[in-house]
Structure 1
Amino acid sequence: MGRIPDLPCDIEQVVDLLGIEVIRDTGTQLHCRCPFCADRKAHMNVKIRDNVFRCNRCGKGGGILHLYAEYCDVNLHTAYEELCKIFGPDGGEPVRKCKRKPRSIETVELPIASAEVRDNTYSNLLSLLTLCPTHQSALKERGLKSEEMELLCYRTTPTTRLKRIVTELLERGCILDGVPGFYCQKDSGQWVLDIRGSGIMLPDRNLLGQIEAIQVRLDKVYNQKFYNLTSVDQYYGTQSKCCPHYVGVHEGDEVVCLTEGVMKSDLAYSFAQGSPYECGFVGLTGIPSYSQYERALEELDSIGVKRINVMVDSDYQVKEEVRKARDRYIEMGAAAGFEMAPITWTQKQKGVDDLYKHLFRDK
């Protein structure tokens, strides 16, 4: 297992130290009950080798120091000092083996299906759903027109007819094995659609336009606004895997815009249509999201893109974590051979979607 230099412990030992409940131990990952939200399942994923954690429910995540600091309500400097005191050779207790006894849940996690399979299943799923009037009104407030909502294929998460929806998908010949959001009931053998919160379903599309994942913008925001359709920790379930979201990006384009979020990309691109600022967007599903960005850089290079306009939220001017991610994106893009163009605007409009709505729709 890798360790942070000069830190005399790994994340597995800190999980043990804090008494965080481990539901399942795969040998490379720990699936835990998140101590930071009302998690009744095992939404917190701890990657042992990488010494990182993330809760798919509340969005908390980071490394060893972040886990300890968040749990103990201290800053990172204090977390470092306390962990060194606890686990270091001069500390009060030596580095120890984990004494926890993880409770096992009988689950079989399926490998994720191909992009083609996911796209077919998700496309058929969305075709069976509608966008409720409440969500239509909310999106109109955000500046979208009805025809744009339909074109984007936004839908409301279903609350009824779930069994019928699954039956219809199977009758259409859709494959549910390995598609995040679907799992099989162990006793009955029936497939189930796993909806973990109500909201607007947003297709996360790859460069070919295929739906690789679905994000849900939650109606009730607790510690996060979005979650990814998943069935992790369910029998025959699958963990979600998002891709860089592309809208309006085509082979031969020399310039694209980079921002954060599926909806933000969709809205900004829609608002800029027919204006001098019309340009394709790439949206990363989170800040930071370096692995997605690395994939995006390779794909953009393959279609001939030369310049990337970096248009992350304007709060990078006051939020250090956003500023660091923005700086890293610029650095990575320049190292990959792209011309990087950081775009700045006032904090009066937070996101590029807010900026473009102000410029092109609020007239």
Structure 2
Amino acid sequence: MGLSRQIDIREVVMLLGLKVNPKDSINSDTFNVQCPFCGDKKYHMNINCTKNAYACVLCSKEKGQGYLDLYSRAVHGVHCIPGPNGNGKEIYKELCDRLHYMQPVQCRPQSASACAPVQTRVARASDEVVGRTYGQLLNFQPFRLSEPHRQNLLARGFTDESIQRNQYRTIPKDYKWLSQYKSAKQICNDLSGLIQKNKMLKKRSPDELAAGFALCAYLQGAGCTLEGVPGFFKVGSFWCFNAIPGMLVPTRSMDGRVVALQVRRDKPKNWNDSKNEFLRYMTISSKGLPQGVTEGISRAHFPLGNPRLTPNVQVCVTEGPLKSDAAIELINLSEQSGSTFFIALHGTMNTKELPAFFKYCKKQGIQRIWNVFDMDKTTNAHVANAGKSVWKKAKEVGLGVVNKCWDEDYAKVKRLELSLLCAEHDILIPTTLNVFVDIANMARALEAADVRHSHKLLPDGTEVKDYWAPETKGIDDFLLKEFKKKEKGLDAS
């Protein structure tokens, strides 16, 4: 039997018993699982069902491999090697046997390893449609910006004027406002049977779902289209919105249209940082939910404070819409207005829009791009690899890339820490005149030697990542620190 039958990678996931992220659905085109190879407990392995491939952001040194390699490594501890001299044919036959593919289709047992039905592909609506719907969503009165969130933004360096311009909003975690939308609660009650049949929906509180129904009724009353807009899904004949409580941060295209939404979640007061992972930023999505959009959900963000793109402007790539909004605001407040242009990604790996943007930059006379990812790009191999992806995409259109680094004082502290660890493991790394180059070289050498670094051990035995000082890790944090120093200097004078 040749390798003629394509096996769905989901069958391999279920056969191996890999734990799927509770926030994801195995019916989706992509979902995350706990990596079986690196002791991962936080769902860092991505399963791409369209490509039938897997990749772990923590331990995959190469691009994602296929379903046979996943099975071979998990069961036999070796990669699947294709070709006449490889082990691919044997691995394939063994997998087919375990999945009962050698039996007639009608005789295959309906076991837990049977593949779940694939979610129908739902295309994203046009930017014009999405922008109109999101624009009206930001006018929904119950989602007005809360005072605690306004104070948070002011502390980041925003002014009241820029807060209003950028249209930050709050999805409240208390639902007192629902008393004005009794029909939404009734819809939720009427659909309880359908809700309980859906694994993802039955985990939501009735108030959370009612909030989504209330918003949709408002938007439909305003003539908005909800089909094809990320974040919206259908229960029976009613549209609902995935209302995640927190600060709502718009993501904008270059023309200023809102094309995606992120939520900065409020950390619960009783959250134990040492024992739990807290995902602070979440892109609003309805992937895996009925009629939820399955593609084009994460988008690149262009702050409203960006200058016009000209040859003398410094173009910076960073991660996170709010981070870039704060950075451009602080640069403009520091009387450097018009000097820097930002594009922010929803995660360092979401680089799909960069090639087209880089081509546009080239046409505008831009010669180089600045990598302004957080400073752990010098010490964290995974962030560094994301930077390499940016570099490759820029190089393809003839642009150079420069790593923008800051906080030399902390870099010297980190260099001492890593140099002592290198000496302990007999790793010799010659120093240069650039402290940032030194720590990057040492971090790469320690990674290659499989020596863990930049992790802090807490009294309870829990390890936490400590790649860079939090007060200057991001470009926004650094600029805010410098801005405050400058303000103090002016006050003193």
Report the TM-score when normalising by structure 2: 0.59
CA distance in 1, matches of 2:406, 2:386: 17
| Aligned pairs, number | 337
Query: Residues of 2 paired with 1:282 and 1:358: CA distance?
Result: 22
Change (3 A) 1:96 1:30: farther
Cα-to-partner distance string for 1:156-200 (whole Å, 9 max, x where unaligned): 1245442332222112111101101111211xx1111112x3211
Which residue is 2:289 aligned to? 234
Q: Are 1:137 and 2:187 matched, yes or no?
A: no
Give the Cα–Cα distance (whole angstroms) in 2 for the partners of residues 324 and 83 of structure 1: 24
Q: Which amino acid in the other structure matches residue 208 of structure 1?
A: D
Q: Does 1:113 align with 2:125?
A: yes
* Cα distance in 2 between the residues matched to 1:252 and 1:283: 18
Using the alignment, how far apart are the partners of 1:38 and 1:198 within structure 2?
22
User: Which of 258, 269, 281 is matched with 1:211 structurally?
Assistant: 258
Counting only pairs closer than 5 Å after superposition, residues 66-81 of structure 1 correspond to structure 2 as none
Are 2:302 and 1:246 aligned? yes
Residue in 2 that maps onto 1:290: 351
Q: Following superposition of structure 1 onto structure 2, how do residues 61-100 of structure 1 map, counting pairs within 5 Å?
A: 82-84=77-79, 88=87, 95-97=94-96, 99=99, 100=113
Indicate if the aligned counterparts of 1:288 and 1:322 stay in contact, CA closer than 8 A.
no
What letter matches 1:147 in structure 2?
E
Tell me which amino acid in the other structure corresponds to 1:191. Answer: W
Q: Per-residue deviation at 1:306? A: 3.3
Unaligned runs of 5+ in 1: 4-8, 72-77
Tell me the equivalent position of 2:369. 308
Separation in structure 2 between the aligned mates of residue 84 and residue 327 of structure 1, nearest angstrom: 25
Instruction: Give yes or no for contact 2:318–2:372 (8 Å, CA) kept in 1.
Output: yes
1:147 Cα deviation from its structure 2 partner: 2.2
Task: Return the structure number with greater relative CO, CA threshold 8 A, min gap 6.
Answer: 1
2 CA distance for matches of 1:213 and 1:192?
17
Q: Which residue of 2 aligns with 1:182?
A: 232
For residue 6 of structure 1, what is the aligned residue in structure 2?
Answer: none
1:109, 1:234 within 8 Å by CA — same for their partners in 2?
no
> Distance between the aligned counterparts of 1:146 and 1:132, measured in 2?
13
State the alpha-carbon separation in 2 of the partners of residues 253 and 322 from structure 1: 28
Give the counterpart letter for 1:51 in structure 2.
Answer: A
More helix by share: 2
CA contact (8 A) 1:244 1:295 kept: no
Write out per-residue CA displacement over residues 250-272 of structure 1, whole angstroms, 9 at most, x where no aligned residue: 34354311111111111100000
What letter is aligned with 1:115? D
The one-letter code of the counterpart of 1:263 is L
The verdict on how the C-alpha distance between 1:148 and 1:185 changes in structure 2, with shifts beyond 3 A counting, is same
Taking structure 1 as the reference length, the TM-score comes to 0.77
Change (3 A) 1:132 1:310: same
Whether 1:151 aligns to 2:165 is yes
Q: Tell me which residue corresponds to 1:75.
A: none
Against the structure 1 CA distance between its residues 170 and 339, is the aligned structure 2 distance closer, same or farther, given a 3 Å change threshold? same
Match of 1:318 in 2: 379
Deviation of the 1:351 alpha carbon = 0.8
Instruction: For residue 96 of structure 1, give the secondary structure of its aligned residue in structure 2.
Output: helix
Instruction: Look up the SS of the partner of 1:280 in the other structure.
Output: strand
Unaligned runs of 5+ in 2: 100-112, 179-210, 268-275, 408-467, 488-493
1:334: Cα distance to partner? 3.1
Alignment CA distance shift 1:174-1:60 (3 Å): farther
Moved more, 152-161 or 29-38: 29-38
SS, match of residue 310 in structure 2: coil
- Tell me the equivalent position of 2:54: 52
1:352 and 2:475 aligned: yes
For the Cα contact (< 8 Å) 1:109–1:232, is it kept in 2? no
CA deviation vs aligned residue, 1:138-158 (integer Å, no higher than 9, x gap): 222322222222211111124
| 1:122 correspondence with 2:134 | yes
Q: Are residues 157 and 148 of structure 1, via their aligned partners in 2, closer, same or farther at CA, if it must alter by over 3 Å?
A: same
What is the DSSP-based 3-state SS (H/G/I as helix, E as strand, rest coil) of the residue aligned with 1:203?
strand
Looking at structure 2, the residues matched to 13 and 103 of structure 1 have their Cα atoms a distance apart, in angstroms, of 8
For residues 191 and 288 of structure 1, the distance between their equivalents in structure 2, rounded to whole angstroms, comes to 31
Distance 1:165 1:318 in 2: 44
Tell me, what secondary structure is at the counterpart of 1:219?
coil
* Bigger radius of gyration: 2
